[in-house]
Amino acid sequence: MDERKDRIEKEGPKGERGLDIKSLTLQELKEEMVSRGEKAFRAKQMYEWMHGKLARSFAEMTNLSEDLRKKCGEWYEYTCLEPVRIQESRIDGTKKFLFALGDGNLVESVWMKYKHGNSVCISSQVGCRMGCRFCASALDGLERNLTPSEMLDQVYAITLLTGERVSNVVVMGMGEPLDNYENLLRFLKLLTDENGLHISQRNVTVSTCGLVPEMRRLAEEGLQITLALSLHGATDEKRRSLMPIAKRYSIRELMEACTYYFERTGRRITLEYSLVGGVNDTPEDARLLGELAGKGRFHVNLIPVNPVKERNYVQSGNEKILAFKNKLEKNQIHVTIRREMGRDIDGACGQLRRRYSEGGRHA
Ligand code: SAH
């Protein structure tokens, strides 16, 4: 850690190091090469090294001349996240990664193995400013947005560290992705680009606490990704007690934005509902949620709340969770309970980072 800090200081603060080359589209990279007096086809070669072969430095790009590799090192910033901690669950093989960014900030990503393939959950911001009451990422507010390359490199670094292909990506780690809209969009395009890792858009999910204008904007981007809406309450009052953002947008506005998303993309929306013991898990809550979900093409994903040390929320009991699910199913709602992956390794988003920053690294 200290060694790395030294290096960052020598290199100077972020931003002075030139253009963030891993965030450029192939077309932009072509233009960049040409403007530097290089041949346009160099761009294709470099793009393949960065996004296909997942090179960790310009030095690896052996079909470029030594001279060009050296110049690139001077012109550009080459984003590569460094793993500072990796935890593996003994229960289900889930791995949690704590990565250091170039400026020393830390983000978390999670790797989950499912029957249908490997899934990576990435962070979109350092911290978060949405302030949801049960969430660990929101405790210290927002530090900064992640760049597209910092989002991408979570997937790239994990692919290299596990040696396995990633088939699904969910933007459900730290941060509110739609609060970092431009960078998110660029990330989505690069991630699903046929010249890169080419992850299918249908295998990418973006989860939002419900920023209505950005949800509508996303509907118009011509993407086939899945949108997940964190609802957590079936009335405005209950939602407001858990999520400050609910004071800005009503459930009605959210449902209208979901309908619009479905109309424009044909993609069914996931409603996420974290069950908090004694807060939003009554039969009446289930009835109201069923009513809302019955009005559109939704899939409901129930998440037993992950207790966070700093918050005094508790999980609903198993029986309550099952009763809640049954009630929805009786109303013909498509519902699943999210399997709790990696419970033994600081499962809830933001917890590993907090522990590490509090001195847990010495534990
Ligand atoms: N900002 C995005 C992504 C955040 S995390 C969003 O709000 O959707 C992904 C999901 O985990 C969200 O539904 C979030 O509300 C939920 N979540 C956060 N902390 C949790 C906790 N301690 N227990 C259960 N779910 C939690």
* Ordered DSSP codes for 68-127: HHHHHHHHEE----EEEEEEE-TTT--EEEEEE-TTS-EEEEEEEEETTEEEEE--SEEE
Range scoring the smallest mean pLDDT among 49-58, 95-104, 133-142: 133-142
Report pLDDT for 321: 95
Report pLDDT for 303: 93
Instruction: Using the mean position of ligand 1's atoms as its centre, give its distance from the Cα of residue 230 in Å.
Output: 7
Question: Which of 123, 125, 128, 172 has the most ligand 1 atoms within 8 A of CB, as the residue to mutate?
Answer: 172
The binding-site residues of ligand 1, defined as CB within 6 angstroms of any ligand atom, are 132, 134-135, 172, 176, 207-209, 230, 272, 274, 303, 305-306, 308, 348-349
- Classify residue 295 by its DSSP letter: T
Residue 11, pLDDT above cutoff 50: no
| Residue 336 near residue 301 (C-beta atoms within 8 A) | yes
Atom number of ligand 1 nearest to Cα 306: 23
Residue 12, pLDDT above cutoff 60: no
Find the mean pLDDT for residues 225-230. 98
Find the mean pLDDT for residues 305-315. 84
Q: Provide the residue ranges of all domains of the chain, joining segments of one domain with +.
A: 2-77, 82-362
Report pLDDT for 338: 84
Of the candidates 361, 348, 363, 362, which has an alpha carbon nearest to the alpha carbon of residue 108?
348
Rounded percentage of the chain residues whose pLDDT exceeds 70: 90
- Residue 99 CB neighbour total at 10 angstroms: 24
Residue 5, pLDDT above cutoff 60: no
Tokens of 190: 């690069």
Protein residue closest via CA to atom 15 of ligand 1? 230
Instruction: Using the mean position of ligand 1's atoms as its centre, give its distance from the Cα of residue 109 in Å.
Output: 14
Instruction: Using the mean position of ligand 1's atoms as its centre, give its distance from the Cα of residue 266 in Å.
Output: 25
Question: Which of 123, 211, 231, 303 has the most ligand 1 atoms within 8 A of CB, as the residue to mutate?
Answer: 303
Confidence of residue 352 (pLDDT cuts 50, 70, 90): low
Confidence of residue 136 (pLDDT cuts 50, 70, 90): confident
Q: Which amino acid is at 335?
A: V
Report the C-alpha gap between 235 and 223 in whole angstroms.
30
Residue 358, pLDDT above cutoff 50: yes
Residue 14, pLDDT above cutoff 60: no
Instruction: Using the mean position of ligand 1's atoms as its centre, give its distance from the Cα of residue 332 in Å.
Output: 25
Catalytic residue among 32, 38, 108, 214: 108
Of the candidates 84, 91, 83, which has an alpha carbon nearest to the alpha carbon of residue 342?
91
Report pLDDT for 102: 96
pTM of the shown model: 0.92
Q: Give backbone dihedrals phi and psi of 54, rounded to 5 degrees, phi first.
A: 55, 45
Residue 359, pLDDT above cutoff 80: no
Instruction: Using the mean position of ligand 1's atoms as its centre, give its distance from the Cα of residue 316 in Å.
Output: 16
Tell which wins on pLDDT, 66 or 340. Answer: 66
Q: Give backbone dihedrals phi and psi of 274, rounded to 5 degrees, phi first.
A: -80, 120
Residue 63, pLDDT above cutoff 50: yes
Residue 19, pLDDT above cutoff 90: yes
Question: Which of 108, 109, 135 has the most ligand 1 atoms within 8 A of CB, as the residue to mutate?
Answer: 135
Atom number of ligand 1 nearest to Cα 128: 1
Residue 22, pLDDT above cutoff 90: yes
| Residue 206 near residue 254 (C-beta atoms within 8 A) | no
Is 108 noted as a catalytic residue in this protein? yes
Residue 297, pLDDT above cutoff 70: yes
Confidence of residue 328 (pLDDT cuts 50, 70, 90): very high
Is 88 noted as a catalytic residue in this protein? no
Report the C-alpha gap between 47 and 25 in whole angstroms.
8
Find the mean pLDDT for residues 137-152. 94
Report pLDDT for 363: 31
Find the mean pLDDT for residues 8-29. 73
Please, which residues have CB within 8 angstroms of residue 126's CB and are 6 or more apart in sequence?
101, 105, 106, 107, 142, 143, 144, 145, 146, 174, 175
Report the C-alpha gap between 104 and 97 in whole angstroms.
15
Atom number of ligand 1 nearest to Cα 171: 3
Candidates 2.20.25.10, 3.20.20.70, 3.20.20.80, 3.30.750.24; CATH matching 82-362: 3.20.20.70
> Helix (H, G, I), strand (E, B), or coil: what is residue 247?
helix
- Classify residue 315 by its DSSP letter: B
Confidence of residue 346 (pLDDT cuts 50, 70, 90): low
**Rounded to a whole number, what is the largest CA-CA distance in the chain?**
69
Confidence of residue 62 (pLDDT cuts 50, 70, 90): very high
Candidates 1.20.1560.10, 3.40.50.2300, 1.10.150.530, 1.10.1060.10; CATH matching 2-77: 1.10.150.530
Residue 362, pLDDT above cutoff 60: no
Range scoring the smallest mean pLDDT among 83-92, 224-233, 346-355: 346-355
Instruction: Using the mean position of ligand 1's atoms as its centre, give its distance from the Cα of residue 348 in Å.
Output: 8
Atom number of ligand 1 nearest to Cα 228: 8
Report pLDDT for 15: 46
Confidence of residue 272 (pLDDT cuts 50, 70, 90): very high
Report pLDDT for 132: 94
Atom number of ligand 1 nearest to Cα 173: 5
Report pLDDT for 8: 37
Report the C-alpha gap between 144 and 346 in whole angstroms.
23
pLDDT digit string (tens) for 177-216? 999 999 999 999 999 999 999 999 999 999 999 999 999 9
Tokens of 146: 């992640």
